[in-house]
Structure 1
């Protein structure tokens, strides 16, 4: 066989070789999956220390936040210790705006809750208005440009005349 041709084949095969005799074995690094089962066990242990009991039949939970948004849980797991006035709600929660949830939660509210919802809606509107005011005020400031009082072109001529005298 031609030595030049053999060297060419060896160089080409060394570049294109993926596996086979003489290649380095690389270990496969497997990343551990985040196990929610382990987190649930820790949570169950903490809840057991609080002496809470599971509450069944809860389809959704809404927690109203001060910024006007709602923390909404669908199909949550709820545990309660009624004597200690302690409730634990866990599951997949989403932050939603109050306007998205109002039609669905009106039939769930009692008379006391309706009054608090009205108060919350008023505060939400106040927050929205206060956020919109500074933007409008900044636009008004940009539009106020003072009028020119002096003629700037005439000034250099008077200075030239004074310099010539």
Structure 2
């Protein structure tokens, strides 16, 4: 029995054209990162449902005042509340902002009681910043010694002329 004649180039083409089938490795699945965030959101929604909170619509922004004078600001947050149990859930993208950035926008939202507490907060913030500035001045951090121009030690023209004379002397030695 004789071996059949085969063309190696045709065999290579057939092997290259083969996609899948018996003996080929399986394709690995690529995990999408968006699925993890959606899973967290579902867990959050399930926990809120157990707490019997209802979504509150029409909330454009939420500001939480911290003791250090900064404000945790949420723009367009999702708010859920259960008023009888005094429970609120606020979630969204929160940013730490300075109180002075938000004051013009929040003055019309505050009532007379809140204005008095805001004044106290502003006074304590001013005292805090004044204290920090005094501490910096005492420790020497406030001085900018590195920003000054250093004094001129040498005359650069004389150094340049001396270098030129040395170069001429070397050229004369070579010649």
TM-score by length of 2: 0.61
Counterpart position of 1:110: 111
Q: How does 1:12-161 map to 2 (within 5 A)?
A: 30-35=30-35, 36-139=37-140
Unpaired segments ≥5 residues, structure 1: 1-19, 143-165
**Aligned mates of 1:100, 1:113 — CA distance in 2:** 18
Residue 119 (structure 1) shift: 1.1
Unpaired segments ≥5 residues, structure 2: 1-15, 18-24, 144-175
**Aligned mates of 1:127, 1:30 — CA distance in 2:** 52
Give the number of aligned pairs.
119
TM-score by length of 1: 0.65
**Aligned mates of 2:68, 2:129 — CA distance in 1:** 10
